[in-house]
Structure 1
Amino acid sequence: MKQDSAPPQPQEKRRPPDVDLSKPRFHLDLWLSFTVQNWILDVGRPVVTLVLPADWFPLNRPGAAEYLHLLYNITAPLILLKMLGRSPRSLPSSAVHLGIVVVVMATSFQLVADSVTRRLMLIGYQLHLSVRENPVMKSLRPSSLIDAFELLFYFDDALGHLRHIPLFLTLLFFFSGCFCHRKQEETTPPAAWMLLAPNAAYYWYLITEGQTFILFIFTFFAMTATVMHQRRRGLVPDCNGLFMLYSFCAALCLVAVWVSCLWNDAVLRRKHPGLIYVPQPRSVYTLHLHLHLHRQNDHTVGESA
């Protein structure tokens, strides 16, 4: 007699292999260390230069800003490695090593260029002007030394800003692993909302001062495309992914407000020609400082007359 076959078992729905099914948690230690490092060791450098008296440190020796920059050279690769370690995916070790080398090399270039720039500012160098347009450089003898300064600032602009490429690639790679199933979707924790404003403000500083708008916007578009792709698989951003998306959106709004306020500035337009116009905060600072000193001189001359 033919035995009845067992009823077919329902097949378990296949899960994406790159999705962690454990309960998503907000990496508070990672984002807190990332934010504190950026605000103290990156944003804090120009603040320290403005606050501390110039005669506290000899000009031929490193100052407080240089020591902060040295610490940033050490901590930035460690934070990126920590972020990569929290991702459910893994990169080839050669790619990780190459990224760390680029970060260290580029930050070292910026350390030298920023140190020279700070000392030039003490003798009247104006950051809103080009190298050859600066009155300090016009009086430099021999005039061939101007080429040396142009080479220095070229290395700063072309090679020093390479450190942002591994940063944004790491953020994008980390974001690609910040997804969970709809059943696991949770609200953004209070700690994420507390870190949102300083994190977005740092991205604004990174875009404006570092001139990384193209990198930022391409990363943001890639993150948006990743969200659309993962939604078709039934996945949504977890609390870390939402934190990154909200930070990028807020930073983009801050940049839009910043650019709109300085849109009609003719001097900054000469400093930042081209289609993408994102003025640097330090250029805005030296421009307004120069205008303020010029008005004071005119007022003094008028009173003496």
Structure 2
Amino acid sequence: RVRGPTRSASSSRFLRSVGSEEIEVEVLSLKPRFHFDLWLCFTAQNWILDVGRPVATLILPADWFPLSRPGVAEYLHILYNISAPLVLLKEAAPLATHLGIISIVMGTSLHLVADSITRRLFLIGYQLHLSVRENPVMQDLKLSSLIDAFELLFHFDDTLGHLMWYVPLFLALFLFFSGCFSRRKHGEKMPAAGWMLLAPNVAYYWFLITEGQTFILFIFTLFAMTATVMHQRRRGLVPDSNGLFMIYSFCAALIPVAVWVVCLWNDGVLRKKHPGLIYIPQPRAVYTLHQTTCLHLTTEG
């Protein structure tokens, strides 16, 4: 007869009756496997559908699709809204994760609408490294009250949409990480497949921190993961291959972010765009700033 809950992801303990005595038996399950299919889907989805959106906006010709209809970036965003919940649901179990996935769908939908309008503004001269009111496109509007409407739009995009998208995303990642522990006897090694996916995953986290402006969420998630590791070690548990992949990716992502900030530390225009204590410029803002600078140099030449 079985008594007591499961002790960890890799072992269970129960009492077995033998004659008139009860003997406690511990049964070890198979060694936790590395979820290569999950992390491959996660990485491919992020690079193609999330990073691909701003790349498509900046590179592809504007006349491929009418401005009154969705373009390549919008279709990639729609596919991301569909695929991201499916990838998270593959390993999600807690109710909090399910509620978070619902919030992600709502947040990405808000972001889709606002980002679509931002793309069209960009095509008519909107400069992403400037604030809404400082943009020449906005200053040329005959009705100045329209600027308030655009500021509301960017609030839905950069604030509300990002919060509803990224807070539950990092929560889902942390909840998944909290279940990636096993007994010490299984070792602390990451397979070759994990090392292969590490670099693109780290690069995506750099994009998530810089373009999504999620440094605070990211660092608090990393702190929570570190605290969980310390707590589980006292119980004789260590991160399995999936847990190692996640914490290695989070720690390594801080290196390109630090290099990015140091290289752009003395840029006055970007500092005005990103005021405050935490200064992490957005890649799209850097791109439009350098594009504008190059156009001025070409005109003067």
In the superposition, the TM-score normalised over structure 1's length comes to 0.89
Structure 1 letter corresponding to 2:127: Q
2:173 corresponds to: 171
1:4 corresponds to: none
Shift of residue 98, structure 1, vs aligned partner: 2.4
Shift of residue 122, structure 1, vs aligned partner: 1.1
- Indicate conservation of the 8 Å contact 1:83/1:170, yes or no: no
The one of 91, 94, 100 equivalent to 2:94 is 91
1:26 corresponds to: 34
Partners of 1:277 and 1:82 in 2: how far apart? 35
1:3 corresponds to: none
| 1:296 aligned onto 2:289 | no
Structure 1 letter corresponding to 2:268: A
Shift of residue 127, structure 1, vs aligned partner: 0.5
Shift of residue 16, structure 1, vs aligned partner: 6.7
* Structure 1 gaps, min length 5: 1-13, 85-89, 300-305
Computed over aligned residues only, the root mean square deviation of the Cα atoms, in angstroms, reads: 1.4
* Structure 2 gaps, min length 5: 12-29
Partners of 1:157 and 1:53 in 2: how far apart? 25
Shift of residue 159, structure 1, vs aligned partner: 1.4
1:119 corresponds to: 120
| 1:102 aligned onto 2:92 | no
3-state SS in 2 of match to 1:131: coil
| 1:268 aligned onto 2:270 | yes
Q: Residues 50-65 of structure 1: matches in 2 within 5 Å?
A: 50-65=58-73
Partners of 1:96 and 1:199 in 2: how far apart? 21
1:257 corresponds to: 259
User: Per residue, is there more strand in 1 or in 2?
Assistant: 2
1:150 corresponds to: 151
- Indicate conservation of the 8 Å contact 2:180/2:242, yes or no: yes
1:180 corresponds to: 182
- Indicate conservation of the 8 Å contact 1:175/1:244, yes or no: yes
Shift of residue 34, structure 1, vs aligned partner: 0.3
Partners of 2:144 and 2:296 in 1: how far apart? 26
Partners of 2:91 and 2:269 in 1: how far apart? 40
Partners of 1:129 and 1:186 in 2: how far apart? 47
3-state SS in 2 of match to 1:159: helix
3-state SS in 1 of match to 2:276: coil
Which structure is larger by alpha-carbon Rg, 1 or 2?
Answer: 1
Structure 2 letter corresponding to 1:110: H
Structure 1 letter corresponding to 2:8: D
Shift of residue 274, structure 1, vs aligned partner: 0.5
- Indicate conservation of the 8 Å contact 1:187/1:239, yes or no: yes
Shift of residue 19, structure 1, vs aligned partner: 2.9
Partners of 2:167 and 2:220 in 1: how far apart? 11
Partners of 2:262 and 2:212 in 1: how far apart? 18
3-state SS in 2 of match to 1:296: helix
3-state SS in 2 of match to 1:263: coil
Partners of 2:205 and 2:88 in 1: how far apart? 16
Partners of 1:235 and 1:96 in 2: how far apart? 23
- Indicate conservation of the 8 Å contact 2:129/2:286, yes or no: yes
Name which structure has the greater RCO, CA cutoff 8 Å, separation 6+.
1
Encode CA deviations 1:130-170: one digit per residue, 9 max, x unaligned. Answer: 00000110001211111110000011122110211111011
Structure 2 letter corresponding to 1:18: S
Aligned length: 279
1:243 corresponds to: 245
Structure 1 letter corresponding to 2:144: S
- Indicate conservation of the 8 Å contact 2:97/2:171, yes or no: no
Shift of residue 103, structure 1, vs aligned partner: 0.8
Encode CA deviations 1:96-140: one digit per residue, 9 max, x unaligned. Answer: 442122111110111111111111111111111000000110001
2:221 corresponds to: 219
3-state SS in 2 of match to 1:128: coil
Once the two structures are overlaid, the 10-residue window that deviates more, 209-218 or 98-107, is: 98-107
1:280 corresponds to: 282
Partners of 1:101 and 1:223 in 2: how far apart? 23
3-state SS in 1 of match to 2:50: helix
Structure 2 letter corresponding to 1:57: F
